[in-house]
């Protein structure tokens, strides 16, 4: 048994090399709606989420951090970036 992101697991499931027993999100996955959330299989309040972040070394000048933050925020609003993220099962929740 392994908990894996849908991006990694989906090709294995589609090729029948692995079988999905459930998803760790509270609602069915957009990319795999047939995979039932574990919380809906009798394990109440079950949720495991992953996240990604962008970090800079301590001491990075504030103006560099500000510029990076502005560019990342702008990129995350681009329709093609949002579409790609959605296609690989990611949800954008940008926070400064």
Structure tokens at 83: 């579409």
Residues 94 and 74 placed together within one structural domain of the fold: yes
The answer to whether residues 37 and 61 belong to one domain is no
Q: Are residues 29 and 59 in the same domain?
A: no
Structural domain containing residue 30: 6-41
Q: Evaluate if residue 30 carries a pLDDT over 70.
A: yes
Phi-psi sector, 22: left (phi>0), alpha (psi -120 to 50), beta: left
CA atoms within 13 A on the CB side of 35: 19
Asked whether residue 33 falls in the same domain as residue 57, the answer is no
User: Looking at the domain assignment, is residue 1 inside a domain?
Assistant: no
Mean pLDDT across the chain, nearest whole number?
Answer: 85
Band (pLDDT 50/70/90 cuts) for residue 96 is low
> Rounded to the nearest 5 degrees, what angle is found at the Cα of 64, between the Cα atoms of 62 and 65?
65
């Amino acid at each position: 048994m392994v908990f894996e992101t849908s991006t990694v697991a989906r090709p294995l499931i589609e090729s029948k090399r692995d079988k999905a027993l459930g998803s760790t999100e509270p609602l069915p996955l957009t990319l795999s709606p047939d995979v039932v959330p574990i919380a809906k299989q009798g394990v109440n309040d079950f949720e495991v989420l992953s996240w990604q972040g962008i970090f800079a070394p301590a001491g990075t000048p504030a103006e560099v951090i500000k510029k990076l933050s502005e560019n990342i925020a702008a990129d995350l609003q681009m329709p093609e970036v949002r579409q790609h993220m959605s296609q690989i099962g990611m949800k954008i929740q940008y926070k400064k």
